[in-house]
Structures are given as structure tokens and as C-alpha cells.
Amino acid sequence: MRHIDHFIAGGATSPAGRKHQIWNPSTGEVQAEVTLGDAALLDQAIANAKAVQPEWAATNPQKRARVMFKFKELIEDNMQELAELLSSEHGKVIDDAKGDVQRGLEVIEYACGIPQVLKGEYTQGAGPGIDVYSMRQPLGIGAGITPFNFPAMIPMWMFGMAIAAGNAFILKPSERDPSVPVRLAELFLEAGAPEGLLQVVHGDKEMVDAILDHADIAAVSFVGSSDIAHYVYKRGVAAGKRIQAMGGAKNHGIVMPDADLDQVVNDLSGAAFGSAGERCMALPVVVPVGHDTAERLKEKLIPAIHALNVGVSNDPDAHYGPVVTPEHKARVEGWIDTAEKEGGEIVVDGRGFTLQGHEKGFFVGPTLIDHVTTDMESYKEEIFGPVLQIVRAESFEDAVRLPSDHQYGNGVAIFTRNGHAAREFASRVNVGMVGINVPIPVPVSYHSFGGWKRSGFGDTDQYGTEGLKFWTKVKKVTQRWPDGGGDGNNAFIIPTMG
């Protein structure tokens, strides 16, 4: 059986410890195992990071950028390998896996411009003979705790900006699909990074707690479920760390009566069911405005959903593959059961789906549930599977209120031809990321990603300028070079700039 090692100080490390099984979601078979680390292993990684980080921080930004450029080239050269490895452990189809890598790569591309974005501010003559300037400096050692659903993209969102800014970084990926993060660390070393700058430690809650409690880790970035995000935020802040913790979502797609329904159905097919719905920016709730809109949309959705091809992860004709584990399959189907018991109409039922020749795979068929209401638990909570719920709205005001009142506030989309309605909706809705005729509004790498309410804990977003702020601290310098003519009488008075 294949064993997945920790990546410590530039090489594989495999100490004794508890083991975690890695599934092949398409076959339902165990394909590998990973050893879960502990606080002692983390101490080893921290020691390596402390040894290398000061010299890396002292390396000029242009040289750091060259490492990022080389890393970018290596990812592009190894795209197929990374996608196949990712697909084999996660279950998403190859093209979707390539998209996972590509969206992370775009943040690496942004990080290649670190000499430009790292520049501070300067004011000459702020007072008599006084100049003021600022500089952005790294925090020291950062850590990332990443989820199973994007094992390439989200790690690169985190360590790309952190390392380019001069920090060392320790990554704890999901124990469900850890191979791609290790491969990324190997490629980063090949790109010219010093040993110990990017290290990968595997683990579960024990390792998470060790990271949150370790005095030498200055900042932690997290993506996962909201309950755990809140836990990470509280424990990390209590330990004196800078924390950004991104949580779950229940993103809504508002469909106005004037929307192009053919385009909406096409967008919903990918946004609701792509990657088996295992995305925090999936679109699992559609909100048609008005009875006629709802009926017309439903009529078009049903054949489109039946036409979706569910297949193994390496099937080039599959629209989406299996979910990640047998436990997750049971959880998703359990939420469909709950929705039915709560009074939802199961229009298309994906429970009990099997794929010929892969009967043990963790497949869930596409599911459509109508007449979902806001008091249902299946609406309140994140299902994280290939399930689309229809929540009918009577008016535009209802359409604004539904996502605004929900506990999650990650993303929302509105489909309309009316510019005024779109502008009004974008201005008023209480959600962090808004798409206008864009079903999955994940901002490009030179903007920033982050939700509101229980979708995000902390004050800064992922990547872009917000990511740079998170991984750096600003030092402000006020300088004067006297010419020797001062009398020193005002040495005890706070200086002013008048």
C-alpha cells in the first residue's frame, strides 16, 4: 500500500504514529495511508522554519519572485500529473482537478509581482526636516489548515502570498487527500526555495490544536466548516495569533422573471452539481422570483439534470464524479432524507445511485428538491453535495431578504437582464461575494476572497491585497537628520509636523 509522508526540511519524514486511510472514491477501495503527526513533529517543523526564515526574509523581493516564477513553471509542466493525483484521491473529474490547480496557480502568478505589491509609502517633508515612510515586513512563521475539497487551490492561496512576503510556512492539509499538497512542496523545493521554508505536516484535531497553540506560529489561515472555523478563530486568537478562518456556505442564485432561463439552467448545472457539489462556492439554492418563473425554470431544470453524466474521476465524458468518502456519501443522502421528511418535494432523487462496474464507489446522483422553506434544517445547513434546492420568492424584496437573513454569507448570484435590479441587489444584499449573471463569483487573484457572517471569521480575506495585509505587518518610520544647529530645548515635547 502506498504511504504518504510528511514533508519536513526538504524531504519525506515518516515517524511512527496513528494511520489514516486514503480512499479511491471511484472504486470505494483504500489506496493509501498517511501517518498523523503530533506536537513533537510540529516542533521539528517549527525548528526548521525558524532556522531558514530570517535569511529568506532578508532575501530581496526580486529574488523571492524568481522562485515563485520557477514554481509557476513547474506547476504548468506537471499539470497533468497533479490533476490525476488530485482526482484519484478527491474524486473530482480531471478537468475539474485542473481547474483546482489553475485557480491556485493564478495566486502564485500574483505573488510573482511581490516586489511591486510589497512597496510601502513615503512622505518627504512631513515636518521640518522630517520624512515618514512605512515598510511591510513578514510575520515570521505562518500556517495553513486546508480542506479536502480544493487540495491544490487553497494551499496555494495561502502559502503563495505568505512565502512571497518573506514568511516560512507550515501546511496541514486534509488527511483525506494529502498527496497533492506534498507534491506542491516538492516542486517548490525544486523551484529553488530553501529547505524548511515550506513544510507539510499531516494530522487531525491533535495537529490542528498544536498549530493553534504553538507560540512560534504568528498567523493561521483556515478553510473548512463554520463550526470548526469558529473554533479555530477563538482558540487561535486566545493564543495571541492573527487568524483568518473561512467557513461554510449556503449560496443562493436569484432568478428574476426576465432572466435568460436557458443560460440559467446551464449555469446551475455546473454551479450546483460540478465537483459533486463539494465547493464552498457551489450554488445549492435557486430562488426563482414569482410562480411563473419557478414553474418555467423547474420545467427546464428536470431534463437538464437527467442529462448529467455521473462517472469515475478519470472519465472524460463525466460531468462530475463521486464524493470523497463513504461517510460523506451517507451524510449527503441523509440530508435528502431530512428534506423529504420536512416536506420538500423530491423532484429528481439521487439517493441509491450506483455506477455499473463501480458499485462500491461513493456516488450520489444529482438531486432536485422543490418547495423548500426557510424553516427547514436542510435549508439552514450546508449539504455539500450534488443537491439543488428550490426556494420560491414572491418578490424582489424576498429575493434580497433570503440570502441576507441566512446564517451564511459567502456568495450569492442574481440572474437578470435588468441593470437597475442587479445594481440594487448587489448594493443591498448582506453577502460577501456577489455574482451578476455569474454563478460562482470567486474573485480573480488580484482581488480577494472572503465571505461574511458564519462564512468568515477574522478581519482579512484570502489572497490579493487582503492576503498581503494578513501575512505582513507594517512598520512606520519617522526620520530626521539634524544639521547640528538644534538647541535641544524641546526634547521633552511631543514633536508636531507644523
Q: What is the C-alpha to C-alpha distance for residues 83 and 409, in angstroms, rounded to an integer?
A: 30
Q: Which residues contact 301 (CB under 8 A, 6 or more apart)?
A: 265, 268, 368, 388
Per the CB < 8 A criterion, the answer to whether 464 and 437 are in contact is no
Dump the DSSP string for 83-102. HHHHHHHH---HHHHHHHHH
Strands 408-409 and 452-453: antiparallel
Strands of the sheet containing 19-24, edge to edge, are 2-4, 29-35, 19-24
Task: Kindly compute the dihedral angle of the four CA atoms of residues 73, 80, 464, 161, in this order, to the nearest 10 degrees.
Answer: -60
Q: What is the C-alpha to C-alpha distance for residues 9 and 44, in angstroms, rounded to an integer?
A: 9
Strands 219-223 and 141-145: parallel
- CA proximity to 12, closest of 197, 254, 201: 201
The helix/strand/coil state of 479 is strand
Dump the DSSP string for 193-227. PPTTSEEE---SHHHHHHHHH-TT--EEEEES-HH
Q: What is the C-alpha to C-alpha distance for residues 473 and 136, in angstroms, rounded to an integer?
A: 6
Residue bearing cell 516538492: 186
Number of residues that make up the chain? 498
Integer distance in angstroms from the first to the last C-alpha of the chain? 73
Cell numbers given for 173: 492539509
Catalytic residue among 8, 67, 280, 336: 280
Q: What is the C-alpha to C-alpha distance for residues 229 and 242, in angstroms, rounded to an integer?
A: 14
Q: Is 112 a catalytic residue?
A: no
Per the CB < 8 A criterion, the answer to whether 67 and 191 are in contact is yes
Cell numbers given for 26: 471511484
C-beta neighbour count of 487 within 10 angstroms: 6
Per the CB < 8 A criterion, the answer to whether 389 and 366 are in contact is no
What secondary structure, in 3-state letters, does 136-175 show? EEECCEEEEECCCCCCCHHHHHHHHHHHHCCCEEEEECCC
Cell numbers given for 147: 480542506
The helix/strand/coil state of 357 is coil
Q: Which amino acids are annotated catalytic?
A: 280
